[in-house]
Amino acid sequence: MLPVAPGPVALRKTLGIMLSYRWRLVGVLTLQVVAVLSTLVAPQLLGRLVTRVSGGTATTGYVDRVVGAIVVVTVAGAVVNRYAQMRARVLGESVFADLRERMMNRVVHLPLSAVESAGTGDLVGRTTTDISRIEFLVRTGVPQILVCVVTIVLTIVAATVSSPLLALGLLVVAPPVWGMMRWYLPVAIPTYRAGSAATARINGTVTETVEHAQTVDALALGQRRQEAVQRAVAEAWSLEHLGVWLRRRLYLVLDVAWRAPVVVILLWGAFLASRGVVGLGAITTVALYAMELRKPIGQLMFWIDLVQVAQASLSRILGVEEVAPDRVPTGQVPQGTQVRLEGVCFSYREGHEVLHDVSLDLVPGERLAVVGPSGSGKSTLGRMLAGINPPTSGTVSVGGVSLTDLSEAELRRNVALITQEHHVFSGSVADNVRLARPQADAATVTGALEAIGAMDWVRALPEGVDTLVGSGHLALSPAQAQELALARLVLLDPHTLVLDEATSLLDPRAARVLERTLSTTLAGRTVVEVAHRLYTAADADRVAVVMDGRIVELGTHDELVAAGGEYASLWRAWNQG
């Protein structure tokens, strides 16, 4: 699983985000204070009116003036309030957009090893379910919460100014709400967080089953997959159930707290008035304030609950930022193009070392074939050379600089890995190629496609390089998709390339054509090819034989055949086959 940001970290980051919007926040708050102040004027004026009327000193003109003033202030307040709400919504949208971009930016720069070991379900859950859980809160909730808090604080202040003694009655709601929150929050947050994780597990299990439907079918895993989904659903259901139970308890107390203030003020007011401590006017004013408190308190109750759900989601979203980076650019510039492995050990999982103390010097410009039995560590070696996973110990360097000291962009300008996983991104053909170098102009993109020999079929598309491809658009064949990947490589222009089964998904004829194009495109570069067909090995300048995570033989094809070792017997077996 990817990490979850601990409470204090999430709080610090949230405050950091708020701080970056501080001036806009101050602006919104000021507008809201003005809007709320205008709503506080009416009860004051009405209170005075009641005092004057009950004292028999009110003239008709006075009543008219007070009513007129109330109308003017209320209308002005409504206008300011509308504007304040709008600004608050805009602010909410901006914060949400920022958060989403920040998340995407993190996700695309996550170390691949972290993504692979966490599973895509968790990450997809965080970028979809969790994001949408906080969406409503950030867009609508934050502005409303601000309004509620400002309203509650100012109303209590105004009530206290009107009659401190009466206003004490408002405090009666504080102890039960406080007690409830102390009980609720510590239980609710972990429950909601576990709920999010459980939903992500459902997503992951379902996605995995659908994506690998053929395997599920072939191995008759249907029943087991179904059970796995049911387990995940049962877990999510029981957590959801617990959540609802908690909420029911919370609402019970808050509901009473919501209705209590007006009743309390009237009773308390009647008691104080009977002793002659307060007048009717003051009771009117404070009772009206108590009524005005009901709406923001009710809204706040609603949001407090959503805040819990969102907080759990937010700590999962911000947790993505807690993944330790697997590279820290030092600004060192590689001197030359030589790639070197020194004493490299690597384990995907602790305690299961896959590569043991591998050292290898690539000769710039050579073509090295890596051969060996399946599972011996060839692909892993390729991933080390391309800097996909940093070694567990030892170093992989280019031009004397460790790959982990290079920025992602710098790394890819030096070494790149190309595998059989050819993904077509939705967008135009040109967009797909340009991913490697966003600023590349049209001629460069066409040039790259030309170099790969793809321009013929691209020209035949309805709109040439501007034809939309990928999910929901024109579907490309695996060979075409692979050619786009190779065209990207031409743009990227790394001096060292690792090809891992780059052509193995294509039919043999397409593979051969592509390999021929590749050899012209790759001329002059260092190429490491994980060879699954030995004829590629025979064409290479050198061959490395990997067995059980070690390079056991290294030399030219002829040398190794003559030496009569592992390679010689592989070669004999291949030729006989």
Positions in the binding site for ligand ADP (CB under 6 A): 116, 348-349, 354, 372, 374-380
Choice between 354 and 433, CB closer to ligand ADP: 354
Q: How far is the CB of 154 from ligand ADP (least distance, A)?
A: 58
Closest CA relative to residue 549, chosen from 389, 414, 359: 359
- Between CA 487 and CA 252 the distance in angstroms is 64
Nearest-CA neighbor of 242 among 282, 177, 295, 193?
193
Q: Give the separation between CA 527 and CA 505, rounded to whole angstroms.
A: 20
Residue 308: in which H helix or E strand, if any?
A: helix 280-319
Question: Rounded to 10 degrees, what is the CA torsion of 337, 343, 346, 350?
Answer: -150
Give min distance, CB of 101 to ligand ADP, in A.
29
The single-letter DSSP state of residue 126 is I
The backbone torsions φ and ψ at residue 393, rounded to the nearest 5 degrees and listed phi first, read -145, 165
Residue 385 or 429: which CB sits closer to ligand ADP?
A: 385
Provide, rounded to whole angstroms, the least separation between the CB of residue 576 and ligand ADP. 22
Select 268 or 346, whichever has its Cβ closest to ligand ADP: 346
Nearer to ligand ADP, 302 or 574 (CB): 574
Q: How far apart, in whole angstroms, are the C-alpha atoms of residue 413 and residue 337? A: 11
For residue 378, the minimal CB distance to ligand ADP (Å) is: 4
Q: What are phi and psi of 547, to 5 degrees?
A: -135, 130
The CA distance from 140 to 434, in Å, is 38
56: phi > 0 → left, psi -120 to 50 → alpha, else beta; which?
left
Q: Smallest distance from the beta carbon of 204 to ligand ADP, in angstroms?
A: 16
Specify the residue, 380 or 432, whose C-beta has the smaller distance to ligand ADP: 380
Q: Which residues contact 506 (CB under 8 A, 6 or more apart)?
A: 478, 479, 482, 514
Shortest approach of ligand ADP to residue 357 CB, angstroms?
15
Q: Looking at beta carbons only, is 177 or 370 nearer to ligand ADP?
A: 370
Kindly tell me which of 68 and 375 has the beta carbon lying closer to ligand ADP: 375
Q: Specify the residue for token string 């509901």.
A: 255
Question: Would you say 371 or 560 has its CB closer to ligand ADP?
Answer: 371
- Name beta bridge partners: 528: 368, 498
Residue 525's contacts (CB-CB under 8 Å, 6 or more residues apart) are: 365, 494, 495, 496, 497
Instruction: Compute φ and ψ for 533, nearest 5 degrees.
Output: -120, 125
User: Do 540 and 368 contact (CB within 8 A), yes or no?
Assistant: yes
Give the residue with the Cβ less far from ligand ADP, 376 or 480. 376
The residue among 349 and 509 lying less far from ligand ADP, judged by its C-beta, is: 349
The residues near 69 (Cβ < 8 Å, ≥ 6 apart) are 41, 45
DSSP states along 204-215: HHHHHHHHTHHH
Q: Are 536 and 402 in contact (CB under 8 A)?
A: no
> From the CB of 432, what's the least distance to ligand ADP, in Å?
26
Nearer to ligand ADP, 304 or 354 (CB): 354
DSSP 36-69: HHHHHHHHHHHHHHHHHHHHT---HHHHHHHHHH
Q: Which is nearer to ligand ADP, 350 or 456 (CB)?
A: 350
- What is the closest distance, in whole angstroms, from the C-beta atom of residue 149 to ligand ADP in the complex? 49
Complex with ligand ADP: residue 376 or 428, whichever CB lies closer: 376
Q: Are 409 and 345 in contact (CB under 8 A)?
A: no
> Of 399 and 565, which has the nearer Cβ to ligand ADP?
565
Q: Do 254 and 183 form a contact (C-beta atoms < 8 A)?
A: no
Taking the complex as a whole, how short is the minimal distance between the CB of residue 354 and ligand ADP, in angstroms?
Answer: 4
What distance in Å separates the CA atoms of residue 269 and residue 272, rounded to the nearest whole number?
5
As measured in angstroms, the least distance from the Cβ of 379 to ligand ADP is 3
Report, in Å, the least distance between residue 553 CB and ligand ADP: 15
CA distance 522 to 498: 11
Phi, psi of 337 (to 5 degrees): -125, 15
Terminal Cα-to-Cα distance of the chain (whole angstroms): 45
Q: Which strand (E) or helix (H) includes residue 77? A: helix 60-108
